[in-house]
C-alpha cells in the first residue's frame, strides 16, 4: 500500500527507478577525473543527498520496511569524500563558496538533514563504526539540546547543549521528550501536527524539499516529491521510547519504520479517517 498521501503507483515506481538511475549515473561519473575540479565537492554533496532520499521514496511507495534501501555507508563515504574535496578546492582554487550548503547546525536545512540521518541510523541500527563516522560528520557537540540528547542515547559521552537552535518546530518535540510518560503521546502528536507548517521559512531560507508536491510551486508532475516525513519524531521515539500511538496514520509520521513486521499504520487520504484515527486520535485539538 502506498504510504504517501500524494502520487499513484506509477508515479512512485517511476520515482524509485529514476532515483536509482541518478545514483548509478553519479557513480559512473565519479569514476572519471572531473573536468571542473572546483565543482567536485558540490557534485559529491548532491550525490550524498540521493541516498536517504531514495530510502524515503521507497517508504512512500509502500515497500516492506525490511526491503528499504539502507543509505549507510554510501552516504558516509560520499559526505567524507565531499569534505576532502572541499578542503582541496579551498587550498588550490580558493573560491568564495565551495558548496552552496551551509554545514552548520544553526542553519535549519543542515539541522533537519542531520536529524534525519540520525533517525535513519537509529532505525537501521547501523554498526558502531558507521555511527562514529556519522557523528563526526555532524559535529556540533554541545550546540543543540535536542539533537545532542538524541545522539547521546547511543553516544553517552556526547556533551548536551544548553539551548535549542530552532525553536520552531522543535520546541514542541523537546517538550514531549521532557514530559511525564502520560503526557508524551499528545505532546508528540502536537509536534507532528505542527512540524511541516513550522518548518516554513522565507523563500530563500526554506528547506530544499519543503515545496515538493505543492501544486502551485513544485507540482507532482515535476517528480521532485518524495513524501514529507517527520523522521525527527521517529528518531525521538526510537531514542527515548516515547508513546507514538496518537501519531499513527498521520500524513507526516513514518510510523512503519518502527514496525517492520507490520501491518502498515498508514491509510491513503482518500479512504477517510480509517480505523487507526478512530482508535488513536484522542489527543487535544491542535
Span 85-114, pLDDT tens digits:
999 999 998 887 899 999 999 999 999 999
Cα angle: 178, vertex 55, 220; to 5 degrees: 100
Q: What is the mean pLDDT of residues 200-217?
A: 93
| Mean pLDDT (whole number) for 159-175 | 98
What SS3 state is found at 265?
Answer: coil
Report the pLDDT value the prediction gives residue 277, as an integer from 0 to 100: 38
Alpha helices (H) in the chain, listed in sequence order: 9-29, 40-61, 74-92, 108-124, 128-138, 145-152, 167-178, 181-198, 231-240, 274-280
Q: Which three cell numbers, joined as nine digits, stand for 264?
A: 502498515
Identify the DSSP state of 36.
S
DSSP state letters, 209-227 = TTTBT-TTTB-GGGS----
The arithmetic mean of pLDDT across residues 196-211, rounded, is 93
279 vs 276: CA distance, rounded Å: 5
Q: How big is the chain, counted in residues?
A: 286
Cis preceding-peptide flag for 172 (omega within 30 of 0):
no
Mean pLDDT across 223-229: 98
Q: For the segment 243-267, what is each residue's pLDDT rounded down to a tens digit? A: 999 999 999 999 999 999 999 999 8
Q: Give burial (CB, 10 Å; 0-12/13-18/19+) of 17.
A: exposed
Q: Show contacts of 181-186: CB within 8 Å, 24+ apart.
A: 181/243, 184/242, 184/243, 185/242, 185/243, 185/244, 185/245, 185/246, 185/283, 186/246, 186/283, 186/284
- Using an 8 Å Cβ cutoff, are 108 and 207 in contact? yes
pLDDT tens track for 127-156: 999 999 999 999 999 999 999 999 999 999
pLDDT more than 90, % of the chain? 87
Query: What is the reported pLDDT for 22?
Result: 96
Assess contact for 218 and 275: CB atoms under 8 A: no
Only one residue has cell 517508504, namely: 59
Q: Is the pLDDT of residue 234 over 70?
A: yes
Looking at every residue in the chain, the average pLDDT score rounds to: 92
Q: What is the pLDDT of residue 97?
A: 82
| Average pLDDT rounded to a whole number, residues 231-243 | 98
Q: What is the pLDDT of residue 282?
A: 35
Q: What pLDDT is attached to residue 136?
A: 98
Please tell me what DSSP assigns to residue 179: S
DSSP letter, residue 98: S
256 touches 4 (CB < 8 A): no
- Domain assignments of the chain as residue spans, ordered by start: 9-280
| Residue 113 φ then ψ, to 5° | -60, -50
Q: Would you state the pLDDT for residue 145? A: 98
pLDDT, position 94: 83
Instruction: State the Cα–Cα distance between residues 264 and 219, nearest whole angstrom.
Output: 27
Tell me the longest C-alpha to C-alpha distance in the chain: 61
Model confidence over 4-58: pLDDT tens digits?
Answer: 999 999 999 999 999 999 999 999 999 998 888 889 999 999 999 999 999 999 9
Instruction: Please report how many Cα atoms fall inside a 13 Å half-sphere around the Cα of residue 193, on the Cβ side.
Output: 14
Amino acid at each position: 500500500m502506498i504510504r504517501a498521501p500524494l502520487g499513484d503507483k506509477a508515479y512512485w515506481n517511476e520515482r524509485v527507478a529514476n532515483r536509482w538511475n541518478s545514483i548509478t549515473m553519479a557513480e559512473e561519473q565519479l569514476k572519471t577525473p572531473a573536468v571542473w575540479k572546483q565543482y567536485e565537492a558540490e557534485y559529491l554533496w548532491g550525490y550524498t543527498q540521493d541516498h536517504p532520499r531514495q530510502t524515503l521514496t521507497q517508504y512512500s511507495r509502500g515497500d516492506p520496511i525490511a526491503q528499504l534501501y539502507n543509505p549507510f555507508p554510501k552516504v558516509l563515504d560520499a559526505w567524507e569524500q565531499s569534505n576532502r574535496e572541499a578542503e582541496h578546492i579551498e587550498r588550490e582554487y580558493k573560491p568564495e563558496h565551495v558548496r552552496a550548503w551551509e554545514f552548520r547546525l544553526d542553519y535549519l536545512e543542515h539541522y533537519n538533514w542531520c536529524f534525519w540521518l540520525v533517525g535513519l541510523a537509529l532505525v537501521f541500527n547501523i554498526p558502531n563504526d558507521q555511527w562514529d563516522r556519522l557523528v563526526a560528520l555532524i559535529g556540533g557537540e554541545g550546540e543543540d539540546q535536542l539533537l545532542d540528547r538524541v545522539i547521546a542515547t547511543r553516544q553517552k559521552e556526547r556533551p548536551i547543549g544548553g539551548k535549542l537552535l530552532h525553536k520552531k518546530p522543535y520546541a514542541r518535540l523537546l517538550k514531549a521528550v521532557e514530559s511525564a510518560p502520560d503526557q508524551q503521546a499528545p505532546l508528540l502528536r502536537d509536534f507532528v501536527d505542527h512540524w511541516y507548517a513550522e518548518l516554513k521559512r522565507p523563500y530563500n531560507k526554506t528547506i530544499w524539499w519543503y515545496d515538493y508536491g505543492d501544486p502551485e510551486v513544485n507540482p507532482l508532475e515535476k517528480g521532485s516529491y518524495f513524501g514529507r516525513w517527520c523522521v525527527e519524531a521517529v528518531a525521538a521515539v526510537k531514542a527515548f521510547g516515547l508513546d507514538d500511538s496518537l501519531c499513527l496514520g498521520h500524513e507526516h509520521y513514518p510510523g512503519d519504520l518502527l514496525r517492520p513486521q507490520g501491518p502498515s499504520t498508514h491509510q491513503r487520504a482518500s479512504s477517510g479517517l480509517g480505523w487507526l484515527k478512530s482508535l488513536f486520535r484522542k489527543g487535544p485539538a491542535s
